[in-house]
């Protein structure tokens, strides 16, 4: 079923860092490729992942200046950055990562 604006109480609300996401996509970490569209990220770290962390490039960081953020195991986190790349190097295997657009 396609999008129905009559069912969308948030239609026309401007997008902001704290607004609801309107599109979500799964993210596969990649050391070389930026996301197709810069986005906020929701990252879930299952309890089975020991010492979970995610490596990201915020939109204005240089390619060689990633941030490696520790994550709480068993919880989902919304990262406080607009992200252009999720790197495989430094990102724990087993995380579930989605964009929030």
Name which of 40, 81, 43 is nearest 61 in CA terms. 81
Domain segments of the chain: what residues? 20-101
pLDDT at residue 21 above 70? Answer: yes
Which residue, among 88, 52, 49, has the nearest Cα to 69 in the 3D structure? 52
Alpha carbon of residue 33 to chain centroid? 15
pTM attached to this predicted model:
0.86
Kindly tell me if the per-residue pLDDT of 16 is higher than 90: no
Contact 21, 100 (CB under 8 A): yes
- Going from the C-alpha of 61 to that of each of 9, 19, 28, 44, 85, the distances in angstroms are 36, 24, 20, 23, 10
Task: Give the pLDDT confidence score for residue 15 in this predicted structure.
Answer: 66
Q: What digits encode the pLDDT tens for the residues 47-97? A: 999 999 999 999 999 999 999 999 999 999 999 999 999 999 999 999 999
Q: At which residue do the structure tokens 């197709």 appear? A: 36
């Amino acid at each position: 079923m396609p999008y129905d604006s009559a069912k969308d109480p948030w239609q026309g609300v401007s997008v902001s860092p704290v607004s609801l996401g309107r599109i979500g996509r799964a993210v596969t970490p990649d050391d070389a490729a930026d996301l197709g569209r810069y986005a906020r990220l929701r990252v879930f770290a299952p309890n089975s992942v020991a010492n979970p962390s995610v490596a990201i490039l915020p939109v204005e960081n240089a390619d060689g200046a990633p941030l490696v953020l520790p994550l709480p195991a068993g919880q989902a986190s919304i990262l406080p950055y607009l992200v252009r790349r999720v790197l495989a190097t430094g990102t724990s295997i087993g995380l579930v990562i989605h964009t929030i657009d």
